């Protein structure tokens, strides 16, 4: 599985096209839109916006807006909106732009909905992000993001193989690049994104799912402990 959604071109946004839906941005992004991202250039005042985009900032409910978009990390949208026995949903949606740790953000945005999320809010959010030159994948509200759920066990396995001495880092990565067509190998990719970042994501997924594949690799645990010390 190749999970590199063209993160080599973070400035894939096209601010000229985003005026079709007025939107306002509040807060500072944890992941999706750094301060220098073109997405900020077309934002307007909150009073003039039809869509509110909250970046690492507590959102406010406003049913007059077409959509309220709240940036997520690994958490569920329900942690921010509350849940109602599987019947939750409104014009509030979550989103996360895929980013491999400290790499530049990719053009992929994961849009998180709940069972009763308003269809018009989903459509407005997709239109906004696509007008900005991004690609949208819509998913239901679950812990963690789609790509992390898929690739973090692979990274853990590669780090474990390295510990077991099955091959050198160079040969492990070369095998995946030549044999599977990956643009970069799993070890170089997880190290470049940050072993501490990998530790934090896998810890959340392991504690939330109990799946052994998410148990943080030894090298990630060591990196996290060294950072704390």
- As a whole number of angstroms, the distance between CA 59 and CA 70 comes to 7
pLDDT at 170: 96
CA 131 to chain centroid: 19
- Extended beta strands in the chain, E state: 23-27, 51-55, 67-71, 92-97, 108-113, 135-140
pLDDT at 30: 77
pLDDT band, very low/low/confident/very high, at 226 (cuts 50, 70, 90):
very high
Mean pLDDT of 214-225: 98
pLDDT at 102: 87
pLDDT at 13: 46
Instruction: Summarize pLDDT for 158-192 with one digit per residue, the tens.
Output: 999 999 999 999 999 999 999 999 899 999 999 99
Higher local confidence (pLDDT), 57 or 20: 57
Instruction: Judge contact between 98 and 110, C-beta under 8 A.
Output: yes
Mean pLDDT of 193-199: 97
Mean pLDDT of 80-101: 95
- As a whole number of angstroms, the distance between CA 198 and CA 14 comes to 30
- Cα-based torsion angle of the residue sequence 142, 147, 151, 155 in order, rounded to the nearest 10 degrees: -100
Q: Give Cβ neighbours of residue 37 (< 8 Å, ≥ 6 apart).
A: 10, 11, 13, 29, 105
Mean pLDDT of 7-22: 53
pLDDT band, very low/low/confident/very high, at 3 (cuts 50, 70, 90):
low
- Cα 159 to Cα 5, 148, 162, 221, distances in angstroms: 22, 16, 5, 11
- Cα 64 to Cα 52, 112, 116, distances in angstroms: 11, 20, 17
CA 76 to chain centroid: 12
Mean pLDDT of the chain: 91
Instruction: Judge contact between 44 and 69, C-beta under 8 A.
Output: no
- Assess whether pLDDT exceeds 70 at residue 113: yes
- Cα 41 to Cα 49, 58, 95, 149, distances in angstroms: 14, 22, 19, 32
Q: What is the pTM of this model?
A: 0.88
Instruction: Summarize pLDDT for 127-150 with one digit per residue, the tens.
Output: 999 999 999 999 999 999 999 999
Task: Catalogue all structural domains in the chain, each as residue range(s) with its CATH number.
Answer: 15-140 (3.40.50), 146-228 (1.10.1040.50)
Number of C-beta neighbours around residue 17 at 10 A = 13
């Amino acid at each position: 599985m190749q999970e590199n959604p063209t993160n080599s071109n973070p400035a894939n946004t096209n601010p000229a096209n985003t005026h079709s839906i007025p939107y306002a941005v509040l807060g500072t992004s944890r992941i999706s839109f750094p301060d220098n991202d073109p997405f900020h250039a077309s934002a307007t005042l909150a009073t003039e916006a039809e869509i509110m985009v909250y970046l690492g900032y507590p959102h406010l409910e406003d049913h007059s807006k077409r959509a309220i978009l709240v940036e997520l990390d690994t958490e569920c949208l329900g942690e921010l909106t509350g849940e109602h026995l599987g019947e939750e949903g409104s014009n509030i949606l979550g989103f996360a732009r895929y980013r491999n740790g400290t790499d530049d953000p990719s053009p992929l945005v994961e849009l998180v909905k709940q069972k009763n999320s308003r269809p018009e809010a989903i459509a407005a959010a997709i239109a906004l992000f696509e007008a900005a030159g991004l690609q949208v994948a819509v998913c239901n509200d679950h812990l963690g993001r789609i790509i992390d759920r898929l690739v973090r066990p692979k990274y853990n396995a590669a780090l474990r193989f390295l510990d077991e001495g099955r091959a050198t880092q160079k040969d492990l990565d070369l095998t995946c690049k030549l044999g599977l067509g990956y643009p970069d190998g799993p070890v170089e990719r997880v190290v470049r994104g940050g072993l501490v970042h990998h530790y934090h994501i896998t810890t959340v997924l392991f504690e939330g799912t109990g799946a052994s594949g998410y148990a943080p690799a030894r090298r990630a645990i060591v990196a996290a402990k060294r950072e704390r010390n």
